[in-house]
Chain A
Amino acid sequence: MLPAVNYLIVPDKGDPYLEGHKCDVCGAIFLGERTVCSKCFARDKISKVKLSNTGTLYSYSIVYRSFPGIDVPYISALVDLDNGGTVKGNLINVEPDPENVDFGMKVKVVYGDALGRKDKDGNSYMSYFFEPA
């Protein structure tokens, strides 16, 4: 399966993982390739790092109205990964009700089919999700 985003790596062998691009000078972590750090302006000091599969919930919203064809409600979540980097995604396996979602809750990153979505050539994609740890 193809990765849904360029910071999701799906190796031929082994488990998928999220990849960050880290500035060797200041430690800022970015998603997606780049050559210049927008925090400290260093050039050509960016290295690939494997991001953690665990983190904590920083903020979220429960989405009830989206574009046609998209299943609602769902939880749109911002997760601070352990060891750095923040990623956004769906928080799954939690009833979408504020009562059940706690700031700072521990989550893990899980990988799976991109909700059955296919591109115009019929290719399937792999994506990532968060679920309570």
Chain B
Amino acid sequence: MSDVYVLGVDMIKFGRFPDRTVPNIGAEAALMALDDAGLTIKDMQAMYCGNLGQANAMVGQRILQEIGQTGIPVVNCANACATGATAFREAWMSIKAGMYDVVLAVGVEQMGKGLLGGAGGGDGIPKEGLLGSGTMPCVFAEAGMEHSSKYGTTFEQFAKISVKNHHHSTLNPKAMYQIETPLDDVMNAEMISYPNTKLMCSVNVDGSAAAVLVSEKKAKELGMQRAIKVRASALASDPYTDRDLVMPDVNACTRIAAKDAYEQAGLGAEDVSLVELHDCFATAEMLHYENLGLCKDGEAGMMIDEGHVELGGKIPVNVSGGLLSKGHPLGATGIANIYEVCSHLRGEAGKRQVEGAKIGMTHVIGLGTACAIHILEKP
């Protein structure tokens, strides 16, 4: 099977674009990725498109209606917050399978404002606030509090993650926000669902990101200078765990995908130069230090306390600003974090460059549950 390379990749600056359409936002990133690869839509042999909000509305085809209708196969993917990464992975798989040499993957989302999840529906009466809460801030707070119960993790430690990611975002011109948020500001912000304050919740934004994936043969033909090798692409669903039905288990699913990804790459966590992981809430990031093997179980609090996960630390995490400050357009996030890692591996990340980055990891998790992990390498 051919190795697969990212030849072109880009994202738009995340923001709020209520006057634009989803395909229009997606088309912008698609064109940027094509330009980055030095190719045109005529070179693409297939397209995989990730979008959640209009999953039944042929977003991929509508993007091609904006940038070039060549008749290529288009597949639209929806996989909760792993949607963009799933589209990328489908593109990767199609090249692995030997079907194509040049494939376009696009992720795009236009978000509303406000709380996600928990609205309920179904028969009878609304259950929100009657049988606990199904809102995302609460669900991820409960997952974080499980960690507190096991290891004594504190509100302040969770809050420090948000301080870190907001700081990183001040170095990223494509982030929604570039604002320092000191610890007091984070801890004293409006409490949404303890221990997650408003500044510890990801930002609902509109955004898009896209990548051009190519076979090794094509990469060699077109020039390898800026090509990034996909060393691993792993996708897992939630295995049975005892509390899974009432408490979505983001840990078990991530651990399956991480094990698979490290095995595919023949690498360990110690080989990774930077990680973009799914900090949909500050509580979530804490769990994934351990789930991805960046530290031993029970050491996540120490990782943030000691600064190991900051830019300049042992293993910088979410130097883009993460979902907490760069923003979280659900379907775009999985490709946006691939863009971030590629930027570092190419040495093009500007002020937030992780010096000497050789190997990078991306991780997303969508409740329901889907976890996608990619390991990328500068050849």
Number of B interface residues at 8 Å Cβ cutoff, please give it.
38
Please tell me which one of the listed residues A74, A86, A103 contacts residue B242 in the complex, with CB atoms under 8 A apart: A86
A66 and B132 in contact, given A2-B124, A61-B138 (Cβ under 8 angstroms): no
Complex interface bits, B37-56 against A, C-beta within 8 A gives 1, otherwise 0:
00000000000000000000
B interface: dominant SS: loop
Contacts of A80 in B (CB 8 A): 243
Q: A64-B194, A65-B115, A87-B246 are in contact. Are A127 and B131 (CB under 8 A)?
A: yes
Instruction: Name the one of B123, B124, B125, B145 contacting A61, with C-beta atoms under 8 angstroms.
Output: B145
Name the contact of B246 in the complex, choosing from A2, A78, A104 (C-beta under 8 A): A78
Q: How far is the CA of A71 from the CA of B129 in the complex (A)?
A: 7
Q: In the assembled complex, which residues on chain A have CB atoms less than 8 Å from the CB atom of B246?
A: 31, 78, 86-88
Interface flag for A28 (CB, 8 Å): yes
A125–B242 Cα distance when bound, in Å, is: 28
Q: Which of B173-230 contact A (CB under 8 A)?
A: 190-196
A117 within 8 A of B: yes
B130 and A114 form a contact (CB under 8 A): yes
Q: State A117–B177 Cα separation when bound (angstroms).
A: 40
Asked whether B29 is an interface residue with its Cβ less than 8 Å from the other chain, the reply is no
A118 within 8 A of B: yes
Q: Which single residue of chain A is at the shortest CB-CB distance from B131?
A: A89
B285 within 8 A of A: no
Q: Is the CB–CB distance between A38 and B125 below 8 Å?
A: no
Q: Are B132 and A76 in contact (CB under 8 A)?
A: yes
Among B119, B131, B240, the one with the most A-chain Cβ atoms within 10 Å of its Cβ is B131
Q: Which residues of A contact B131 (CB under 8 A)?
A: 4-5, 88-90, 127-128
Q: Is the CB of B190 within 8 A of A61?
A: no
Q: Are B115 and A89 within 8 A (Cβ)?
A: no
Asked if A98 contacts B245 (CB within 8 A), the reply is no
Minimum CB–CB distance from A85 to chain B (whole Å) comes to 9
Known: A67-B118, A76-B142, A88-B247. A28 touches B132 (CB 8 A): no
* Interface membership of B126, Cβ < 8 A: yes
Report whether B135 and A66 are in contact in the complex, using a CB–CB cutoff of 8 Å.
yes
A70 within 8 A of B: yes
CB of A117 within 8 A of CB of B126, answer yes
- Is A74 in contact with B129, judged by CB distance below 8 angstroms? yes
Q: Please name all residues of chain A whose beta carbon is closer than 8 Å to the beta carbon of B115 when the two chains form the complex.
A: 65-67
How distant is A45 from chain B, measured CB to nearest CB, in Å? Answer: 15
Any chain A CB within 8 A of the CB of B133? yes
Q: Is the CB of B142 within 8 A of A59?
A: yes
B66 at the interface (CB under 8 A from A): no
Chain B positions within 8 Å of A, measured between CB atoms, are: 115, 118-119, 123-133, 135, 137-138, 141-143, 145-146, 148-149, 155, 190-196, 240, 242-243, 245-247
6 A-B pairs closest in CB distance: A76-B132, A61-B141, A70-B129, A103-B149, A62-B194, A117-B125
Spell out A's residues near B (CB within 8 Å): 2, 4-5, 28, 30-31, 38-39, 58-67, 70-72, 74, 76-78, 80, 86-90, 98, 103-104, 114-115, 117-119, 125, 127-128
